[in-house]
A and B are shown apart, each in its own frame.
Chain A
């Protein structure tokens, strides 16, 4: 990555899915443990649950001026509404990470590189939907592993989850990470 190049990641879903947490953990991992600069912003509706929610992370080796995403390199869509709202903000050839459990309809799929990881389903297998953001982070890791080490993300996760759920969250991360490797759906590369 050139010095002032920016990696722009947008995560979107509805309130309660951990969208804000994912952004925060990513930002912290890059800033504190991967030696990069990162800015994490978010916006949401007033409802605690259910309203539209987005979180953004901009990463760079150089100084970051504009703090928001201009044209996303990666879009993580955890709900259909999130996808519909933000797909046009993903650059052509950009990476779309989606949860097929909630995102069914992707227009113009061919323009993007689509990875499908059922974060909610995997989280339920582990004990609850609250682990879906760690699953999503694991899935995301495969897409950014050239810029950051697994240990950095895991450290950031452990900073931000209750101590007694750390092991489950680490397992959720691993499931998200390995799902991506094993099961990339045909025709979606």
Chain B
């Protein structure tokens, strides 16, 4: 007999129904991303305990069986990431939530997911490093998100800044992964994972859910099927559907043939993926902007740091009349260079507060170098910036 024990920490509403009912809920960030995944149709979770992501995994262990999904605690993070690949090709949407050391372990699996165009979502609740690190907040994996997997191969990485966004961005991550047949990363921080805030869940009919296109939908027979052909994003036949899909982790021809290798075929395969993500998936709508109309300085930020940044920007404008604008990167990768250049004309100083020693400041510099006089990094390690700290750095030079 399975004995049900209700731990005290759980908002009791989540026990009363299968998916959270539309309305206002009070959730921890770690819980919100699980609820978002369930709404998106995710039904397989694999993970490994790691602070500060463990609450997400524990929430998954309770919630996935409730909706008829499957949960497994694997023996390590490598296994977890590989389960996502198998589950995705078996036809399910799959999720894992980990932290920085586990994220490092998953890089090989991410690499093979990119080349095999496997939809799956990995949420990294970043904590400081390197090494074992500590269990506070950090944004130290944002470069690893793009470049951590071996080999060429683009990826999509989103950056939530609130518990509401942990819910929404997880759904968006699944939609992007299904639409573009790619692994998608959600780069959160310990702050937002452990924080509790209200989450407003809209009526489910109002939430867009995207599922992978299948060759059956397009009338493509097994004999005519090219697993990596037919469209910019190839329709994805899953195992068990009679399509005899050969999943490979090697560069390949459109029908999956890997035996006729040539450098030209290699390059063609890689460039096709590059274009798919860096060009076709590089959409607008990934920047949140404020106070840009008359600004002479700019604050460019992402993740939970953007909340401190917004507080600082509002105060600087109100108390000192400083004309400073605000841009939040909702998506880190593919880096929205064109979108940034389209909206930034000419400013004096661009401030980039990050919970690392300066990582996204590099692509920001590449994008805005000729649009500003200088770029100033505002680093913080292991702790969320306070508004006073950001303001003191801003006022230093202005």
Establish whether residues A31 and B24, one from each chain, have CB atoms under 8 Å apart when the complex forms: yes
Spot the interface stretch: B32-40, B95-103, B193-201: B193-201
Spot the interface stretch: A66-74, A110-118, A140-148: A66-74
Interface size of B by CB at 8 A reads: 25
- Interface assignment of B311: CB less than 8 Å from any CB of chain A: yes
- Interface assignment of A41: CB less than 8 Å from any CB of chain B: yes
Quick one: which of B289-312 are within 8 Å of A by CB? Answer: 304, 307-308, 310-311
B8 partner residues in chain A, CB cutoff 8 A: 21, 160-162
B308 partner residues in chain A, CB cutoff 8 A: 65-66
Q: Residue on A with the closest CB to B307?
A: A65
A39 partner residues in chain B, CB cutoff 8 A: 195-197
Bound complex: CA A21 to CA B304 (Å) = 23
Q: Residue on B with the closest CB to A71?
A: B388
Quick one: which of A22-46 are within 8 Å of B by CB? Answer: 24, 27-28, 31-32, 37-43, 46
Bound complex: CA A9 to CA B100 (Å) = 31
Quick one: which of B275-290 are within 8 Å of A by CB? Answer: none
* Closest Cβ–Cβ distance, residue B23 to chain A (whole Å): 10
Establish whether residues B194 and A38, one from each chain, have CB atoms under 8 Å apart when the complex forms: no
Bound complex: CA A162 to CA B311 (Å) = 38
* Closest Cβ–Cβ distance, residue A126 to chain B (whole Å): 18
Establish whether residues A40 and B388, one from each chain, have CB atoms under 8 Å apart when the complex forms: no
Bound complex: CA A41 to CA B195 (Å) = 5
Bound complex: CA A68 to CA B308 (Å) = 9
A41 partner residues in chain B, CB cutoff 8 A: 191, 194-196
Q: Quick one: which of A28, A65, A70, A162 contacts B26, CB cutoff 8 A?
A: A28
- Interface assignment of B386: CB less than 8 Å from any CB of chain A: yes
Bound complex: CA A73 to CA B196 (Å) = 20
Secondary structure at chain A's binding surface: helix, strand, loop or mixed? Answer: mixed
- Interface assignment of B384: CB less than 8 Å from any CB of chain A: yes
* Closest Cβ–Cβ distance, residue B162 to chain A (whole Å): 8
- Interface assignment of A159: CB less than 8 Å from any CB of chain B: yes
* Residues A66 and B387 in contact in the complex (CB < 8 Å), given A32-B26, A160-B9: yes
Interface string of B346-388 (1 = CB under 8 A from A): 0000000000000000000000000000000000000010111
A66 partner residues in chain B, CB cutoff 8 A: 307-308, 310-311, 386-387
Q: Quick one: which of A38, A159, A161, A162 contacts B197, CB cutoff 8 A?
A: A38
A32 partner residues in chain B, CB cutoff 8 A: 24-26, 198
* Closest Cβ–Cβ distance, residue B9 to chain A (whole Å): 7
B118 partner residues in chain A, CB cutoff 8 A: none
- Interface assignment of B177: CB less than 8 Å from any CB of chain A: no
Establish whether residues A67 and B24, one from each chain, have CB atoms under 8 Å apart when the complex forms: no
Bound complex: CA A91 to CA B201 (Å) = 36
* Size bracket of the A interface: 20 to 34
Establish whether residues A70 and B198, one from each chain, have CB atoms under 8 Å apart when the complex forms: no
Q: Quick one: which of B135, B136, B196, B311 contacts A40, CB cutoff 8 A?
A: B196
Bound complex: CA A40 to CA B314 (Å) = 22
Establish whether residues B310 and A65, one from each chain, have CB atoms under 8 Å apart when the complex forms: yes
- Interface assignment of B262: CB less than 8 Å from any CB of chain A: no
Establish whether residues A24 and B9, one from each chain, have CB atoms under 8 Å apart when the complex forms: yes
A37 partner residues in chain B, CB cutoff 8 A: 197-198
Establish whether residues A68 and B26, one from each chain, have CB atoms under 8 Å apart when the complex forms: no
Q: Residue on B with the closest CB to A156?
A: B26
Q: Residue on B with the closest CB to A28?
A: B26
Q: Residue on B with the closest CB to A159?
A: B12
A46 partner residues in chain B, CB cutoff 8 A: 135
Establish whether residues A31 and B310, one from each chain, have CB atoms under 8 Å apart when the complex forms: no
Establish whether residues A159 and B11, one from each chain, have CB atoms under 8 Å apart when the complex forms: yes
Establish whether residues B386 and A70, one from each chain, have CB atoms under 8 Å apart when the complex forms: yes
A/B interface sample: 21 pairs, CB < 8 A = A24-B9, A27-B196, A31-B24, A31-B197, A31-B198, A37-B198, A38-B197, A39-B195, A39-B196, A41-B195, A43-B136, A46-B135, A64-B197, A65-B314, A66-B311, A66-B387, A67-B384, A68-B386, A159-B11, A160-B8, A161-B8
List the 10 shortest-distance A-B pairs measured between CB atoms, nearest first.
A66-B311, A31-B198, A40-B196, A65-B311, A65-B310, A28-B26, A65-B307, A31-B26, A66-B308, A39-B197
List chain A positions with a Cβ less than 8 A from chain B.
Answer: 21, 24, 27-28, 31-32, 37-43, 46, 64-68, 70, 159-162
List chain B positions with a Cβ less than 8 A from chain A.
Answer: 8-9, 11-12, 24-26, 135-136, 191, 194-198, 304, 307-308, 310-311, 314, 384, 386-388
| Besides the known contacts A31-B198, A67-B307, 16 further A-B residue pairs in the complex with CB atoms under 8 A apart | A27-B196, A31-B26, A38-B197, A39-B195, A39-B196, A40-B195, A40-B197, A41-B195, A43-B136, A64-B307, A65-B307, A65-B314, A66-B310, A67-B304, A70-B386, A160-B8
